[in-house]
Amino acid sequence: MTQSALDGVRILDLTSEMGWYCGKLLADLGADVIKVEPVGGDPSRGRAPFWQGIPGRETSLRFWYFNANKRSVTLDLGQFDGRWLFGELVKTADIVIESWTAAERAELAEHDVDPDAYMEAQPALIWVSITGFGLDGPRAGWEVTDIVAQAAAGIATLAGYPDGSPMRIAGNQAYAVAGISAAQGALLALLQAEATGSGQRVETSIQEALSICQETAHLQWDFQGTSRERVGESHRLPGIGTYETSDGYIFSMVGVPGFGAPWTEVIGWMDESGMAEDLTEPEYANTFANFNMRILLDEEEQAKHAPVLARAQEVLTRFYASKTTMEAYEEGQSRRLLIGQVATPSDIADSEHLAVREWWLELNQPTRLGSEDAALRYPGPPYHLSETPASIRRPAPQIGEHNQEVWVDEVGIPAEDLIAFAGEGAI
């Protein structure tokens, strides 16, 4: 059996949805991640979409993806016995990850659930906190959701149309980026702990994690001294933006000096296809033969060449529309033109490239899916390790599925005591 990168590392995952991805990344690398849930289960288990469209706490596909490879125990930190059990569980852990709100943190502190106390008792313990705005500062107590974080980090102001309002980017990007950042911090702290025997606090502010994802906004300020604005699907310059094809869309970034082949290559391609129209005439050809950063960045230069640029946009739009997405993508790439397929979920699922790279990971789940040979395909990890590859070893757990295994067999709680704790609602 292939060894995993994080074999032997135990992690307690007390996060809400905003921290799921952190635990998943570490679990896929082989860490024993135990999801510590409220007695009724993580409330986010009810998030759509659901397996076969049937809502339920055990059928959320979103939960299945982000919590595969984890085990589940239940625990009520509001009860004295629950807090005692948690303390016993922490003694077995290398890392604790939580995403408590300021109110939850304050309430737990009143009941002596104190990260510093646990770390004092276990000097090598690493405690990871994922928060909206950090553990201190004037916004430390503010609530956060994905859309709030995107707005606060400046991402939303870049998304949308020039004449519209800022927009949220789909897919809970704030939670994903925060999860990646927290996982990185946890791994760095683990290296330090293994080298020195000393753990540390790892704090991830979602706002701060997302604030670095500004595309070219920082560069534009450095180069031009202006703030980037929303541009919608297409840029005001031809060749830059989203274009419709005969069966979908592509994203094009052609003709930008220093990035791939020049505009003359685009015109040559159109001419070979009999669709360059009048762009080979000197009026147009000379402009694009000398297409430079001044035209790209200087509004006065753009105004001077406006008729030529507008005409090129018309012709290029018709040209792209005559091609299929893959024709434009593959031929453009062969010509060193920066053209990309705007892939749909189906395109990703059917991608020959991803299949050859064995990116998809399959996991048999006969009990959950109702068939002996039933399996689900999971999106693979964002990295490939040659010697200790990531893997999907077990499906996302049912609520408290591993209570007996963890509490009795591993923590050492007598079975009769566990029954009593369950009876009083502590687990």
pLDDT grade for 45, boundaries at 50, 70 and 90: very high
Query: Residue 79: is its pLDDT beyond 60?
Result: yes
Query: Residue 218: is its pLDDT beyond 70?
Result: no
By mean pLDDT, which of 3-7, 36-40, 111-115, 374-378 is the weakest? 374-378
Residue 382, CA atoms < 13 Å, CB-side half-sphere: 10
Name the more confident of 315 and 229. 315
The pair phi, psi for residue 129, each rounded to 5°, is -115, 125
**Mean pLDDT, residues 249-265:** 88
Query: Residue 47: is its pLDDT beyond 60?
Result: yes
pTM higher than 0.75? yes
pLDDT grade for 234, boundaries at 50, 70 and 90: low
Query: Residue 397: is its pLDDT beyond 60?
Result: yes
pLDDT at 422: 96
pLDDT grade for 311, boundaries at 50, 70 and 90: very high
Name the more confident of 3 and 105. 105
pLDDT grade for 297, boundaries at 50, 70 and 90: low
pLDDT at 170: 86
CA separation for the pair 37, 43 (Å, rounded)? 9
Letter string b/e over residues 242-280, b meaning 16 or more CB atoms within 10 A of that residue's CB: ebebeebbbbbebbbeeebbbbebbbebbeeeebbbebe
Query: Residue 417: is its pLDDT beyond 70?
Result: yes
**Mean pLDDT, residues 374-393:** 90
By mean pLDDT, which of 127-141, 164-178, 210-224, 335-349 is the weakest? 210-224
pLDDT at 292: 65
**Mean pLDDT, residues 388-406:** 96
CA separation for the pair 134, 130 (Å, rounded)? 8
**Mean pLDDT, residues 155-174:** 85
Q: Which two tokens stand for residue 338?
A: 């920066």
CB 68 within 8 A of CB 20: no
Over the stretch 48-60, which tens digit does the pLDDT of each residue have? Answer: 999 999 999 999 9
pLDDT at 103: 94
pLDDT at 263: 87
Domains in the chain, CATH or no CATH each: 10-213+357-423 (3.40.50.10540), 240-244+249-341 (no CATH)
pLDDT at 224: 66
pLDDT at 258: 78
By mean pLDDT, which of 66-70, 347-351, 378-382 is the weakest? 378-382
**Mean pLDDT, residues 264-288:** 92
Mean pLDDT (the chain, rounded): 91
**Mean pLDDT, residues 137-155:** 92
